[in-house]
Structure 1
Amino acid sequence: MFADAEPDISSSFPTFDTLGLSEHVLRAIMEIGYKKPLQVQVECFAPAKAGRNLVVQSRTGSGKTAAFALPILHRIDYSNSSPQVVVVVPTRELALQVHGEFERLGRYTGLKSVCIYGGTGFGEQFNRLMAGVHVIVGTPGRLLDHYRRGNFRTDQVHAIVLDEADEMLSAGFYDDIQKIFELLSNLKQVLLFSATMPFNMENLIKRYMKDPVRIDLSKDQVCVDRITNVAYSVDTSGPRIRTLIAIIEAEDPTAAIIFCNTRQETEVVAKYLGRRGYDAQYLNSDLSQTAREAVMAKIKAGELRLLVATDIAARGIDISFLPCVIHFDLPTDPQQYIHRTGRTGRVGRPGRAIAMVSVKDLHSLRRIESTLGIKLKQAETPTREESLKMLADRKIREFKERLDAKPAIPEEFTTLAKEILADPDAEGLVSLLVDAYMSPPPAAVDDRAPDRRESELARSDGRGTRGFRPSRRR
C-alpha cells in the first residue's frame, strides 16, 4: 500500500519519522520496508488521529487502507479488549486485505483484531471474538449475523470505517449499513473512503457525519498520466474471445485481470484460455471461499498470469505490480470503469486499461468517455493469422528455452520424435502432442467441445456484425 518512492514530492513532504507515529507503529513500518507515506495517508493522518469525521474520495490503489489504519492504531485503548473500531467493506477479499494491513501495521502495539465474512463457518470467527478484539473488519451481512447471535458488544465502539463505500451502496448494502450505524450508540467518529461519490452517499454523510473533513484526491481517477486507456475493435468474423487472444498476444502482459459482466462468462473465458495453453483461472462468487482465496493468493504472489473475474469478485484485489486490465465486456456504468481501471497503475506505477469494443458497445463507450473526460486510444487488432503466428512464435521460444537448458530426454523419446517427423501424418501427430502439452489437467477442462464453447461465446456477444474503429481524434 506504500510506494518505495513517490515522484514529484519535495523534501518538505512529511516522512514516516515526522508524521507523528508511535514508536511501535513506526517500527512495524520500518520492518515492512515502507519508505515514504502517500498523499492520502499524509492528509488523513492528523484529522483522523484527532477524532474528526472524514470523507475521503481517493482512487483505488492510492494507499487508503493505511490512511485509516495508521490513525486508528493511535486511538485504541489496548488495555481494553472490547471492540472499539468496526471496519465495513463490501467483499470477503477486501476484508482479508484490510485485516492483513491492520495486523502488519499493529504487530507491536498489542492489537487484537478479527476478520469476519460469509462463505465460511462461524466457529473460528466466534472464538476470536470471544477472546477479545480491538478492531473488527467485516462484510455487512456477516457483521449483523454475529451481532444478532450476541457474539460481540458495540457499547464501546467509538469509530467506524466504511471502505469502498460506493461499492457497498451499489451492491445493495445501504440498509445493512444503516442497521450497523443504529447499533453503535456511542459512535464518535466516522471515516468514509470511496473512489466515487454517488448521490445516495451524500444522504448517508448528512445523516451520520457531523462537520466532516472532506479530502478529494480523485481528480486523476482514471490516471491519464499513468494509465493508457486503449480500445481494440472486436473482430466479428469470429467469436469475441478470439479478439481477446489477439490482444493478449499483441500486448503480452506479464499479468492481467480480464473483466466479464457475468459469472458464467468468466468461467467459459478462463477455460477457453486454459484449453489453449494460457495460464488463466476465473474468480466469481460461485467459487467456494477456499477456492477464491487460493486463486487470490496465486495472482497476488505472481503465480498466475491471467485472472478472469466479475466486478464484485475482483473488489479488494490489491496487486501493486499489475500492468494491465482488459474489459472483455465494457461496464454500463462509467463509475465501474474507474473501479476496474483502478486495479492497474497503482502507487505511481504505469498501467494499461484495454477495452474490447464492437458496434453495440458504442453507447457504453461514449458514455464512459464523456463522463470521465477521456478518449480511448485506437489500437490495431491483429488478424487471426497474425495472432496465431505470434502465439506460435512465443511457444516455440519457450520450447527452445527448455531445450537450451539441456534436459535429460530419454532415447526412446528422441527415436519417437524422428519417427513422427517421418510419418505422412506428422502435422496431425505433432498437433496432438502440443495439445496434450498445453492443455490444463483434465479436471480443470470444460467437458464441452471447443467449437461449442466458441459458438457459445459468439452467441453471447450479440454486439453487431460490423467491426468498430474508435475515432482517431485523440
Structure 2
Amino acid sequence: MDDSAIDDSAIDDSAIDDSADNGTADIATFGDEAPGEEEPVEDLPSEGEPAFRDLGLHPALVEAVEALGYEQPTPIQAAAIPVMLEGGDVLGLAATGTGKTAAFTLPMLHRMATSDRAPDGRPRGLVLVPTRELARQVGRAVRRYGQRLAVRVLEVYGGASIGYQWKQLQRGVDVVVGTPGRVLDHLRRDNVDLGAVEVVVLDEADEMLDMGFQDDLEAILHATPGGHQTALFSATFPPRLVDVARRHLHQPARIEALPSSEQERPDIREVLHVVPRRLKAAALARTLILESPEAALVFCRTRADVDELARLLDAEGTRVEALHGGMGQAERDRVVARLREGTASLVVATDVAARGLDIDRLTHVVNFDVPEVAEQYVHRIGRTGRAGRSGVAITLAEPRDRRRVHAIEALTGRRLPVEPVPSADDLRTARLERLAERVLEAVTADSDALDPYRAVAAELSEALDPVDVAAAALQALAIASGEHQSEVEQIPDEAFAILRRQPGRSRHPRSHGGAGPGSDAGGRPRGGWTRLYISAGRDAGVRPGDLVGAIAGETGLSGRAVGAIRISSGYSLVDVPSTEADRVIRALSRTKIRGRKVKVRRDRAAHGR
C-alpha cells in the first residue's frame, strides 16, 4: 500500500488540528486508479479455508478479489465477513497486517451492491481512522476491492481542501473514509448528513483514543442513526475503548486475530540494550553500524528529541531524516516518500508523526525512548516484519526504565532479551565482513568488468606481497564507502558495559553510600582509594551510570575500576583508585555531566583537608 502522507498537521503529542484548508482530496468511482499505484491492497494469503467465493459475497466483489490474486481469506476475514453480512456488530482485536481492512470493506461493499443508493446522495458507509495516511490506504482499498461496482468514495482529512471535499459531498458519495477531526468539522458546517449511514467502522480505534479523538468520535457517532451496523477494530483493548464498545456496539461478535504463539508472531527479533542516557546516541550509532539496516525507523518521545538525535547522528556522518509534527505537511510527505522509495534509509520520528506509516521495506524499528504506554511498543514494532519478511526491534533503555520494560513484557507475554551494546571489535568484524561481501560480489558478478584493473593488480603483485596489495585496496574501499572507524568506536566498551549488569539487581547498587568497592564498613575510602567531590547531584539529574560513564569515557578506565558512589541533592562523591585520581580530576573538569560543567576535587571531609 502507498504511504504518501500522514495526518498530523501541526501536531505532536497533544494538539490535533484537522481543519487545514489547502491541497486536494481523493474521490473517485471504482476503477478510477491513480497512475503508478500498483502495490497490493493488503496481505491476503493464498492458503486456508474457506474461499472468498464461499462467504456469500456479491459476485462482483469475489471477481475483483480473485483478480487481485487472492482466493482464501485470512482468519479475521473468514470470521468477520459472515457476521457482518448477517448485519451483526463486530469487535475485532487485530494487529496491522492481518487483513482487517478487507474484513470490513468487503461486507460494507456487499451491502452497497445489494441495495439501492440513498436517493439524495447521502453516505451509507462511514469509516473513521486515526490518520490521513490510513484514510488514503483504506480509500484505495475500497476502490480496488470494489472496482467492478460504481460506488463513490471520498477521503476527508486535515491538510486537504475542505472546500473541495464539500463540493464532492454535495454531489453525493456512498462511503466516507476520514479522520475524526475533519469529519466533525464537516458535520459542524452542515456539509455532510450522516442520517442515512448504515455501516460505521472504527479502524485502529485505540490509536484514535490515544490521539485525543474520543470526544470527536462520540459527537460523530451521535450524529448517525440508531440501528446502524458498527464494526470496531483495534490492536489493543484499553479500558477507555471498552467503554466506547459498550456504548456503541450491540451484542458484538468478538473476533481475535492477535498472535497466540511464537509461531504465529511476525518474524521480529527483539533486542534490549540498557545504557546511560548520555551514551544512548552513541549506543544507537554503534547499533546502526552493526545492523546496517535497509530501512530503519527510530522513535523518540518529543519533537526536540527527534531534532537533537538527528543532529547528533548527522554529525557522526549518518544520513538521517527527521519526521515530526512541527514540520510542514509537504516536508513530511517528502520524507515518507524518500523512505518508501529507498532514497532514505533512516528516519527519526515521534509516535504521532509516524502513525499510519505502512512500509514493507522497513527492516528495523528502534525505540530510542522506551514507550510510556506498553501498547505503544506493540504498535511501533509492528511496522517491521511484514509481508513475510523478518524484522528487528531494538530498544534502548535506561536503568530507570525498568518498570516500563516489565509492563511491555507483561503485555506481550515474553521477556525482552538483554544484549550488550555492540563492541568496537563487533563493529570492525561487521565492517570487514561487508567489505568481503562487496569484493566477492564484484568478482562473481561480472568478470569482464575487472579487466581494466587486472594489469595494475598483476604489476603491483610482482613488486609487492599480493596480500598487502589486497589489504591496501580493501582499506581504500573502506574509506571511500564510509566503512571506516567512527568516533563512537573510540568510546571504551566499558562505558557501556556497567549498565548491562543492572537488570534484575537493585536499581542503583552503588548509589546508597555506605560500604562498597573502595569503601570500608563506615563508608570511608580504603587504602589505595581516593574520594572525589563532584559539584552535581540528584537535583541536576545525576545518576550512578552518568558518573561511571563519564569516568570510563573520558579516561579509558574500566567501569569496574570505579568504586563506591554516593549521590546527594547538590553533589556526588566517587571513589577512584588513588593512582588515577589526578587523571580523573583533569578529565572530568574538561567534560560535562548531564549537560553541565562541574567542579571536581578531592573530598576534604574524607581525607581530612
TM-score for the superposition, normalised by structure 2: 0.62
Find the partner of 1:59 among 95, 120, 128. 95
Match of 1:305 in 2: 345
Whether the aligned pair in 2 keeps the contact of 1:157 and 1:186 (CA below 8 Å) is: no
Name the counterpart of 1:111.
Answer: 151
Amino acid at match of 1:176: D
Query: Alignment partner for residue 406 of structure 2, among 366, 377, 382?
Result: 366
Return the offset for 1:291: 2.5
Partner residue in 1 for 2:162:
122
Verify the 8 A CA contact 1:55 1:192 in the aligned structure 2.
Answer: yes
Aligned to 1:2: 43
Once the two structures are TM-superposed, the CA of residue 384 in structure 1 deviates from its matched residue by 4.2
Letter in 1 for 2:43: F
In structure 2, the CA distance between the partners of 1:63 and 1:181, relative to structure 1 (3 Å rule), is same
CA contact (8 A) 1:91 1:313 kept: no
Deviation at 1:43, TM superposition (A): 0.8
1:70-89 Cα offsets, whole Å, 9 max, x none, are 11111125644321111111
Check whether the contact 1:230–1:379 (CA below 8 A) recurs between aligned residues.
no
1:324 is aligned to 2:378: no
Instruction: Give the superposition deviation at 1:298.
Output: 3.4
SS in 1 for 2:396: strand
Contact 1:281-1:295 within 8 A present in 2 as well: yes
Task: Measure how far apart 1:227 and its partner are.
Answer: 3.9
CA contact (8 A) 2:117 2:174 kept: no
The answer to whether the Cα contact below 8 Å between 2:130 and 2:207 also exists between their aligned partners in 1 is yes
The alpha-carbon deviation at position 190 of structure 1 amounts to: 0.7
- Show the counterpart of 1:467: 499
Q: Is the 8 A contact 2:132 2:158 kept in 1?
A: yes
Match of 2:72 in 1: 36
* Percentage identity across paired residues of the two chains: 34
- Aligned match of 2:61: 25
Q: Does 1:294 align with 2:326?
A: no
> 1:19-418 alignment to 2 at 5 Å?
19-76=55-112, 77=115, 79-80=117-118, 81-220=121-260, 225-236=265-276, 239-346=279-386, 349-384=389-424, 386-387=426-427, 390=430, 394=434
List per-residue Cα deviations over 1:146-176 (Å, max 9, x = no partner): 1111221111111111011111112221111
Q: Which has the higher contact order (CA 8 A, sep 6+)?
A: 1
2:37 corresponds to: none
Aligned position for 2:8: none
Deviation of 1:110 (Å): 0.9
Asked if the contact 1:2–1:36 (Cα under 8 Å) also holds between the matched residues in 2, the reply is: no
Taking the aligned partners of 1:34 and 1:282, their CA distance within structure 2 comes to 37
The answer on whether the counterparts of 1:230 and 1:378 sit within 8 Å (CA) in structure 2 is no
Q: Tell me which amino acid in the other structure corresponds to 2:60.
A: H
2: distance between equivalents of 1:388 and 1:265? 29
Once the 2 structures are TM-superposed, how far is the Cα of residue 249 of structure 1 from its aligned partner?
2.5
Determine the C-alpha separation between the residues in 2 that align with 1:66 and 1:390. Answer: 42
Structure 1 residue 102, shift from structure 2 partner: 1.2
Q: Give the unaligned 5+ runs of structure 2.
A: 1-41, 453-474, 489-495, 505-609
Deviation of 1:353 (Å): 2.0
- Inter-CA distance 138–190: structure 2 relative to 1 (3 Å threshold): same
- Residues of 1 paired with 2:359 and 2:261: CA distance? 17
Contact 1:62 1:346 in 2 (8 A): no
After TM superposition, the structure 1 stretch with the greater mean CA deviation from structure 2, 144-153 or 365-374, is 365-374
Residues 95-145 of structure 1 deviation map (CA, whole Å, 9 limit, x = unaligned): 122122112212221121111111333133223222321111111111111
Aligned residues: 427
Give 1:369 deviation, angstroms: 1.3
Q: 1:244 to 1:392 in 2, by over 3 A?
A: farther
- Residue 445 of structure 1 is matched in structure 2 by none
Is 2:275–2:397's contact at 8 Å kept on the other side of the alignment? no
Which whole-Å CA distance do the structure 2 matches of 1:396 and 1:279 have between them? 23
How far off is 1:5 after superposition? 4.2
Larger Rg: 2
1:269 alignment partner AA: L
- Aligned-residue Cα RMSD (Å) equals 3.7
Structure 1 CA distance, aligned partners of 2:309 and 2:442? 28
Amino acid paired to 1:16: F
Q: Distance in 2 between matches of 1:40 and 1:290?
A: 36
SS at match of 1:346: coil
Aligned mates of 1:345, 1:230 — CA distance in 2? 11
**Cα distance change of structure 1 residues 4 and 303 upon mapping to structure 2, 3 Å threshold:** farther
Which has the higher mean CA deviation after the structures are superposed, 285-294 or 274-283? 274-283
SS in 2 for 1:377: coil
Aligned-partner Cα distance in 2 for 1:201–1:349: 31
Quickly say closer, same or farther: Cα 1:256–1:158, change in 2 above 3 A: same
Residue deviations 1:402-443 (CA, integer Å, cap 9, x gap):
999969x9xxxxxxxxxxxxxxxxxxxx99x979x97xxxxx
Deviations 1:327-366 (A, max 9, x none): 1111021111111122123355443322112312222112
Q: Which residue of 1 aligns with 2:52?
A: 16
Q: Is the alpha carbon distance of 1:106 and 1:221 closer, same or farther for their aligned partners in structure 2, counting shifts above 3 Å?
A: farther
Instruction: Using the TM superposition, give the Cα deviation of residue 48 of structure 1 relative to its aligned residue in structure 2, in angstroms.
Output: 1.0
Deviation at 1:274, TM superposition (A): 4.5
User: For the residues of structure 1 that align with 2:335 and 2:152, how far apart are their CA atoms?
Assistant: 27
Query: CA separation of 1:208/1:167 partners in 2, compared to 1, >3 Å: closer, same or farther?
Result: same
Q: Which consecutive aligned stretches of 4+ in structure 1 deviate over 6 angstroms post-superposition?
A: 221-224, 395-407
Separation in structure 2 between the aligned mates of residue 237 and residue 90 of structure 1, nearest angstrom: 32
Partner-residue secondary structure (3-state), 1:75: helix
